[in-house]
């Protein structure tokens, strides 16, 4: 049987993969490989230490920051969003709670319809340079009518996690980016994970590309600085550290980890279930984060019963998925 490293190398060569793949099993690293270019114009290669955007993987970290505030009594899962929004976002219904937002069961209108167009075609309704703080997202979040009654059903919603970031800021008096740093990244030992401005990326960060081999980046497609629904940069090492810290109870308590990874909704269209900020395998105990945006594709999974952790990060829109498919087939997930 072909080795896992061989299968990954073959898939990466076949599809022109650009990014990093890491697989750990029972505490030992079986695959840790970088492919392609972080900066195509200057021929800068990706390395295993490259910082990559992770898109909606941020939602898991947002959920943990919020749950940390629940643990210390600053928020409750039953806290109504309206109690902190005041006169802002008046179309968010009175019965929408923190828990509804975390579970994608709030029914609020979303600023991003992921089914309306291709991921590379979406543009923000305001100039992206205007989105550098969570409060600056208010014009983007406003004006979207309720779609269904809170708790009625599941519907994946990006706006809900920006609202969560806003609520966390207002309840704690701290900026959302600081909350994620101090309540999630630091206790998890995620030493490189941070929100970066797209117009001042450091040398270690990969640019995000819209196609497999073209020169166009995603700089005009995404907010200049991410918030609750996406935009944090990380390394594969930090993602590995994240899963260990999560299940060791170093971010929130084991009881709350269990609560966040308990299935709340079936998502048959995507062959999975959903908890609070985390994707769940359709039938097994695997828990994962996933990100997909213009210039970004990402998946990181922990499979507790098999002691497996894998992370695939790519700096072009669809780069990760062929490699993720190979990993799932080879590992039997």
φ, ψ of residue 238 to 5 degrees: the values are -65, -35
* pLDDT confidence of residue 2: 84
Count structural domains, the chain. Answer: 1
CA torsion, points 316, 321, 327, 332, in degrees to nearest 10? 160
Q: How confident is the model at residue 85 (pLDDT cuts 50, 70, 90)?
A: very high
Domain assignment of residue 62, given as a range: 4-331
Supply the pLDDT for residue 63: 98
Q: What is the pTM of this model?
A: 0.96
Q: How far apart are CA 183 and CA 186, in angstroms?
A: 7
Rounded mean pLDDT, 283-301: 97
- Taking every pair of Cα atoms in the chain, the longest distance, rounded to a whole number of angstroms, is 62
Q: Which residue has the tokens 């309540």?
A: 183
Residue 1 has pLDDT above 80, yes or no: no
SS3 of 2, please? Answer: coil
**Percent of the residues in the chain that have a pLDDT greater than 90, as a whole number:** 94
Question: Could you identify the residue written with the tokens 């492919």?
Answer: 35
20-79: per-residue pLDDT in tens?
A: 999 999 999 999 999 999 999 999 999 999 999 999 999 999 999 999 999 999 999 999
Question: How does the average pLDDT of the chain come out, rounded?
Answer: 96
Please tell me the distance from the alpha carbon of residue 34 to that of residue 12, in angstroms, as a whole number: 10
270: domain CATH number is 3.40.710.10
């Amino acid at each position: 049987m072909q080795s896992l490293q061989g299968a990954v190398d073959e898939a990466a060569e076949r599809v022109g993969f650009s990014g990093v793949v890491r697989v750990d099993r029972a505490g030992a690293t079986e695959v840790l490989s970088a492919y392609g270019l972080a900066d195509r114009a200057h021929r800068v290669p990706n390395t295993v230490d490259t910082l990559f955007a992770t898109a909606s993987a941020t939602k898991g970290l947002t959920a943990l920051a919020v749950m940390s505030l629940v643990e210390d009594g600053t928020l409750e899962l039953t806290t109504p969003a309206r109690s902190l929004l005041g006169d802002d976002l008046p179309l968010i219904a009175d019965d929408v709670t923190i828990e509804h937002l975390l579970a994608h069961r709030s029914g609020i209108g979303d600023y991003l319809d992921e089914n309306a167009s291709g991921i590379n075609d979406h543009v923000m309704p305001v100039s992206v340079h205007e989105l550098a703080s969570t409060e600056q997202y208010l014009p983007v979040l406003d004006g979207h009518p309720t779609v269904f009654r809170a708790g009625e059903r599941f519907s994946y919603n990006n706006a809900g996690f920006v609202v969560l970031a806003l609520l966390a800021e207002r309840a704690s008096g701290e900026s959302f980016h600081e909350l994620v740093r101090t309540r999630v990244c630091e206790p998890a030992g995620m030493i490189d994970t941070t929100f970066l401005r797209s117009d001042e990326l450091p040398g270690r960060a990969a640019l995000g590309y819209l196609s497999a081999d073209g020169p166009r980046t995603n700089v005009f497609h995404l907010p200049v600085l991410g918030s609750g629904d996406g935009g944090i940069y990380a390394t594969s090492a930090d993602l590995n550290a994240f899963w260990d810290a999560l299940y060791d109870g170093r971010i929130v308590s084991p009881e709350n980890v269990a609560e966040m990874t308990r299935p709340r909704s079936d998502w048959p269209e995507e062959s999975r279930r959903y908890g609070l900020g985390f994707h769940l395998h359709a039938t097994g105990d695997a828990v994962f984060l996933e990100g997909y945006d213009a210039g970004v594709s990402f998946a990181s999974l922990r499979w507790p019963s098999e002691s497996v952790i894998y992370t695939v990060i790519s700096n072009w829109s669809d780069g990760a998925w062929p490699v993720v498919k190979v990993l799932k087939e080879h590992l039997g997930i």
